[in-house]
Structure 1
Amino acid sequence: MLTKPRLYGLVMALAAASYGLLAYFYHNANGSISAQVCPINRVAGIPCPSCGTARSIVFIMEGNLYGAMMTNPLGFLAALLLIALPVWVALDFVRKRESLYRSYLKTEAWLIRRKWVAALLVVLILANWIWNITKGL
């Protein structure tokens, strides 16, 4: 379990790093984001479950939803989280609340009590990973 400062710091640090990478990819890579960014792909020679997520988000930014879905459906979730979570942290900071932290704790407890949901999520991620490998991402 993360503490509130760690959760909020992690959210903001990951969002900032992601925005920086996306800005670089969007403006400099001309849509050809290399798989060599992924350490798993570099070492093992196979894509990880999240390979193609940045490319998928760039497709979303360009309005190419089909391209985003075919590259990696996780891009839609990542794009939503990259928009919602930093705003949520900022609102909590301004309002002096901890609604994101409380939601995180409730979600974590809910998943611990419902292990089948966590197992289903793992199966979906594994299916996405297999799809990434078979399509040669």
Structure 2
Amino acid sequence: MKCDICNAETGINYGNSNAVLCNGCSSSEEIMDQVAAGLIKPAPTGGPSTTVDFSTQSTHKIALLISIIGWVVFSLGAVGSLLMLSGGPPAVLTCVGFSISGLLIIAAGEVTKSTAENAAHSREILKIMRDKT
């Protein structure tokens, strides 16, 4: 992000929600008084982003991979429990545990996907709020 005053690149916003400031500009009392008074506003960003967010896209792929692995583990456990019926309760319980592990892995993939979507929506809301100020 860039400082609203001097256009210097900054990784941390030393200002507030009204303005992005670099460390140098945030140490000036005059500039901070203008920010507090609302005289310095951030430059418009052109509305919500329509570009592809590659971090979210890659997170979706990772979540899909986790879910696929979970479905494979669940399926192997389910098929194994059917094949092990003649092996007695310990063999069947082992395969049922395998199936439950698969379901937990699927849930982990879904939680990962939901977290990525929540982060993407939060970024969009932040952009909309910044454009309104």
The structure having more radius of gyration, on CA atoms, is 2
Q: Normalising to structure 2: TM-score of the pair?
A: 0.30
Select the structure that is richer in helix. Answer: 1
Q: Normalising to structure 1: TM-score of the pair?
A: 0.29
